[in-house]
Amino acid sequence: MPTPTRPPHIDDEKFLAHVTDRLAALPAVRAVALGGSRAQGTHGPDSDWDLAIYYRGAFDPDDLRALGWQGEVSEIGGWGGGVFNGGAWLTVEGRRVDVHYRDLDVVERELARAEQGWFHVEPLLFHLAGIPSYLLVAELAVNRVLRGELPRPAAYPARLRISASAHWHGTALATLAYAKANHAPAGRLTEVAGALATAALQTGHAVLAARGEWVTNEKRLLERAGLRGIDEIVRGGVGEPEGLVHMLGRAEVVLDAAVVRAEGVADDGGIRAEEIADDGGIRAEEILDAGVDRVRECGAE
């Protein structure tokens, strides 16, 4: 989408208040929050405005369309369903505004699940590794509430630190192991590069979960996890099978070491993997073993 021309006289705070008031007045909307770089103070003058509308019950996207703002408004579930259940890409008074739909019933459910260390991962457009359902909880923790009231987690749940780190670490190991057993020996450079990128982002999630740091998207995930150096391994990729196997081996060492370092932080947090109860909690060692065993089973396919 081309960058819209912004009228120079519009004050940021007045603009935000105007848009927020219009969104907050929509039927079923109970709260509006500012997210993205503008909520975290890392934005530039032309950064998008990311706004989440939290609704209770039935929200009708036609009510948003009726505001008359230029752009595309999706139906509920229009962005793939799941926890990230749709939204709008709009231009308001020359500024890009992204609106995200957030169902409060789903948000409260995922907050309760995260406290117990429970979550799931689902695909989302533009995200290589997918998104964890606790993304909704991360938004509650880092976004700025503009209208209404929203629950806010007191801290990153200790059980989630263990279960999420273990899940993402196990998935990254499985991703690399499958590529090493299947794609690399066949010289499939594109598939190997894709698997390496995906595993790096999965490891980024593992590292930040172990540290107890919230993630809302994949932007700058590798930088935050200290994994930007993986670029050098990708640049060294060659199409010969032996070179691809070697590249994946180097990546395994780098990514695994990053998680091991982060796990030291998790242990200092007062809860260890073996302390997670059997009543639905996710055991780190079970996830790691299951992921690697599954790759071994299908390695010859």
Q: Over 50: is that where the pLDDT of 298 sits?
A: no
Which two three-digit tokens encode residue 227?
């994994």
Q: Average per-residue pLDDT in the chain?
A: 86
Confidence of residue 293 (pLDDT cuts 50, 70, 90): very low
Burial zone of 5 (CB within 10 Å; 0-12 exposed, 13-18 middle, 19+ buried)? exposed
d(CA 185, CA 29): 54
> Please, which residues bridge with residue 32 across strands?
53, 147
b/e map of 73-90 (b: 16 or more CB within 10 Å)?
bbebeebeebbbbbbbeb
Q: Over 90: is that where the pLDDT of 254 sits?
A: yes
Q: With beta carbons less than 8 A apart as the criterion, state whether 132 and 120 touch.
A: yes
d(CA 87, CA 85): 7
Please write the tens of the pLDDT for every residue from 123-177: 998 999 999 999 999 999 999 999 999 999 989 999 999 999 999 999 999 999 9
Please write the tens of the pLDDT for every residue from 92-116: 999 999 999 999 999 999 999 999 9
Cβ partners under 8 Å of residue 219, min gap 6: none
> Please, which residues bridge with residue 87 across strands?
100
